[in-house]
A and B are shown apart, each in its own frame.
Chain A
Amino acid sequence: MALKTEEMVLNMGPQHPSTHGVLRLELQLEGEIIKDVIPHIGYLHRCFEKHSEAMTYPQVIPYTDRMDYLASMYNEFGYALAMERLMGIEVPERVEYIRVIMGELQRIASHLVALGTYGADIGAFTPFLFCFRDRERILHLFEITCGARLLYNYIWIGGLSNDLHPDFIRLTKEFIKDFKPNLKELNDLLSFNAIFIERTADVGILPLETAINYGVTGPNLRASGMKWDLRKDDPYSVYNKFDYEIPVGSGEKGKIGDCWDRYFIRVREMEESLKIIEQAIEQIPDGDVKSAIPKRVKPPEGQIYTRVENPRGELGYFIISDGSLNPSRVKVRAPSFVTMQVFPELCKGFMVADVVAILGSIDIVLGEIDR
Chain B
Amino acid sequence: MGILDKEFSEGNIVIAKTDDLFNWARLSSLWQVGFGLACCAIEMMATSASHYDFDRFGVIPRPSPRQSDIIIISGTVTLKMATRIKRLYEQMPDPKYVISMGSCANCGGPYWEHGYHVLKGVDRVIPVDVYVPGCPPRPEALLEGLMKLQEKVRNESMIKKSA
Contact = CB atoms under 8 A, between A and B. Distances in A.
B50 A44 contact: no
B117 A46 contact: yes
B51 A43 contact: no
Interface string A191-207: 00000000000000000
A50 B114 contact: yes
B63 interface: yes
A21 B118 CA distance: 16
By CB atoms of chain B within 10 A, which of A44, A69, A129, A132 has the most?
Answer: A44
Contact of B76 (A44, A128, A151): A44
A69 B111 contact: no
A133 B33 CA distance: 23
Contacts of B138: 149
Contacts of B38: 21, 44, 46, 66, 69, 366-367
Contact of A47 (B42, B80, B84, B115): B115
B41 A21 contact: yes
Contacts of A185: none
Nearest to B118: A46
B57 interface: no
A128 B37 CA distance: 19
A70 interface: yes
A185 to B, nearest CB: 14
Given A69-B42, A133-B51, A150-B43, A44 B37 contact: yes
B116 A132 contact: no
Contacts of B111: 46-47, 51
Contact of A129 (B35, B50, B63): B50
Interface string A136-158: 10010000000001110000000
B39 A51 contact: no
A149 B36 CA distance: 18
B46 interface: yes
Interface in B30-59: 33-39, 41-43, 45-46, 49-51
Contact of B49 (A15, A44, A128, A367): A128
A291 to B, nearest CB: 29
Interface in B113-144: 113-118, 135-136, 138
A21 B36 CA distance: 6
Given A45-B78, A149-B43, A151-B39, A51 B34 contact: no
Contacts of B153: none
A16 B37 CA distance: 11
B117 A367 contact: no
Interface in A26-61: 42-47, 50-51, 54
Given A15-B35, A22-B37, A46-B111, A136 B50 contact: yes
A63 B115 CA distance: 12
By CB atoms of chain B within 10 A, which of A21, A66, A366 has the most?
Answer: A66
A132 B51 contact: yes
Interface of A: 14-17, 21-22, 42-47, 50-51, 54, 62-63, 66, 69-70, 113, 116-117, 128-130, 132-133, 135-136, 139, 149-151, 366-367
10 contacts: A15-B88, A22-B37, A43-B84, A45-B78, A47-B118, A50-B115, A51-B114, A116-B49, A132-B50, A133-B50
The 10 nearest A-B residue pairs measured at CB: A132-B49, A69-B39, A133-B50, A43-B81, A17-B34, A129-B50, A54-B114, A45-B117, A136-B51, A15-B35
